[in-house]
Structure formats: C-alpha cells, structure tokens
Amino acid sequence: MCIEYTNYMIKAQNYKKYKHAVIAVDPVIFALINNQLNVLLIKMKKAPYANAWAAPGGLVKPDESLENAVRRLVSAKTGITHEAHFEQLYTFGRVNRDPFGRVVSVAYLALIRPDSVQLKTTGEYQDIKWFPISHLPRLAYDHGEIIDVAIDRLQKRLGYTNIVRSLLPEKFSLTELQSAYESILNKKLDKRNFRKKILALKLVKETGVKEENKAYRPAALYEFSQDKLIIKTILS
C-alpha cells in the first residue's frame, strides 16, 4: 500500500482533501525458505514509517479488479505472474489506519515458490527482503495485524486442503512435506502418523524418482496427486 499509495496521492494534488476513501490491496506473500515460513516485506522510505517494513501493496487503479491489482503488485515486486496461489483474506478499514488519508485495504494471501522469484527494488522503497515469520521487524500501518490474519488463514487451510502444494517444488520427499507442515503450524508432528495419514488420503503419489547427490540413502520423491486446490480433511 504505502509507496505507490504516496505517489498516487501526490498525483491527486491534495489527497487529504479527497472526500472519499480509496481502495488498496495488501498481499501477504509467503514462501518456504530453508524449511522456514517467510514473508516478503519492503522497507519504507518516508515518514512516519521511515525504515519500517510493510507488505508490498498499492492502490487499486480505477479500471482494474482487486485480483488484477494484487497480481500486478506481486509481479512488480517478485517477477511472478501466474505461478502463485492467491486468495482474498479480509478487509481492513479502521478510520485512522493510515496517516496519509482514508484508505480501505483488502488483504490477500499469496503463496509462491522462492526459486521462481526475482526480487525487484525501485527508488520507491529502500529494500525488499524475506523475513522468517518468527523474526519480523518493526512493521508499518496495521500490517502486523494483517500478517497475523494471513498466518491464521494458512494454518487453518492446511488442515482441510492441499494448499501446501503452492509452497513446495514439483517433486519433494515426505520429510520435506512434513517440514513444511511443521513450519507453518509451528509444532512438531509425529512422523509415522503423518506419513500414514498423507498416504492413506492419496494426497501425494510416488514419482519413481529418488533424491540425488545425497550422502545418505536417497529418499523417494513424491508429487501432489492433483495440481489444483482440493478440499479434504488432512489434519484433525
């Protein structure tokens, strides 16, 4: 929201006199990096949030849908155009949530694979960086609340969908799959019970390929049985 938002206000010449609320989208972009759930943040330049970090959002253009706006913003920051899962989270509309004016933000959950990302910086902000959700920096606006809502949604969706597929490579070991669940849920899972449940549900299938260049016995690699989002009770 922050950066493009400020530029938009300048173009409008005197944003604070604008009588109506404007709409922004704030994507919370998650990826699994080194077996940890990370969120993508940008470092702000301008007061009152100079050096604070924020979700890489922006204003919705008059001629675009909310989903097109969030995809545009994610693509501009990461280079991702379609290889991502997007879903609308919640609307944040507290009157004084933004010091620059009256802005209603529609937050989105976005899940991507980090190996397909090329982070892009511009003169609009200082830096762009991944942060483990367990070690977040000082956040601007109400983005701490927005990230908390996104984490809660992801954890709940993990229990009844195959949404984790959007965070993993096409081929993965069962150990990698369990590590993904544990990172998102922030708890350890019993290895035997986890594998028994996952295989019984036919959530994944063997590829016939094993890990390569491993010093230990290579593990079998799996892939998801379906390449679309499905609803199925996985964790209970």
Residue whose structure tokens are 């994610």? 74
Q: What is the pLDDT of residue 215?
A: 65
For residues 130-156, one letter each, b for 16 or more C-beta atoms within 10 angstroms of the residue's C-beta and e for the rest, the string is bbebeeeeebbbbbeebbebbbebbbe
Q: What is the pLDDT of residue 19?
A: 62
Q: What is the pLDDT of residue 166?
A: 93
Domains, the chain, with CATH or none? 2-142 (3.90.79.10), 158-224 (1.10.10.10)
pTM of the model: 0.87
Q: What is the pLDDT of residue 4?
A: 52
Query: If the chain, 236 residues long, is cut into consecutive pieces of 10 residues, what is the mean pLDDT of each piece?
Result: 49 51 92 94 90 92 92 82 83 84 91 82 83 95 95 95 93 95 95 94 92 79 88 78
